Chain A
């Protein structure tokens, strides 16, 4: 089967750094994405890693290790508005190339406290 595992909940304080891990086991893999979803809102794209290493976008960074089937999202200088659910998602791929199908992880609820 296909699975993407994340911690269910993470709590941190404003200004801190938090890391949300994602381990995946999928039949196809072309890249790892991260999405943020506020309560009652639509998921919004944060980052995408196709290759091993770290991608930085402002306060958010994302890391991928394809050999370990592992990635993480790093959030720095946490703000109250970062309280949301965070999902990793594998972009499905086959021998013929990438698809745009996403397989979502279990999701991590981040609570930022003052």
Chain B
């Protein structure tokens, strides 16, 4: 398995502000992803975090709103910018390891509430 940590685990923010979520993995992985999950709902892929280059965003998600960095193989950040209450959700990072290509390992998530 892969040990994945996310910071912060939860936060309450005011509308109009930004929050940066960190994802750290204990071993080198091939791919990293960011998902959003509203309570009681399914997971929606936001983007693929590419090492050293711009992330690949899914339909409905844009870089200005969700800038992502991945400076190395084990670390990525997701920023939720200019937040509104609609951004209240759980944000999860996930990774794929070279030796377990069919499986994604998920971080514990960051629970964000925007007031």
A and B found bound together? yes
Q: What residues of chain A have their CB less than 8 Å away from a CB belonging to chain B?
A: 31, 33, 41-45, 48, 50, 87, 91, 100-107
Q: State whether A43 and B102 are in contact (beta carbons under 8 Å apart), knowing that A100-B31, A101-B48 are contacts in the complex.
A: no
Residues of A within 8 A of B33 (CB): 100-102
| Chain A CB within 8 A of B41 CB | yes
**Chain A binding surface SS class:** strand
Q: Nearest chain-A residue to B47 (Cβ)?
A: A101
Q: Which residues of A contact B101 (CB under 8 A)?
A: 100
Residue in chain A with minimal CB distance to B107 = A42
Q: Report Cα–Cα, A104/B105, bound state, in Å.
A: 14
CA distance A33 to B108 in the complex (A): 19
- 9 of the cross-chain contacts (CB-CB < 8 Å) are A42-B107, A43-B43, A87-B43, A100-B30, A100-B31, A100-B101, A101-B45, A104-B42, A104-B43
Residue in A31, A42, A45, A101 with the greatest tally of chain B CB atoms within 10 Å: A42
Query: Of B48, B102, B106, which one neighbours A42 at CB under 8 angstroms?
Result: B106
- B102 lies within 8 A of A91 (CB): yes
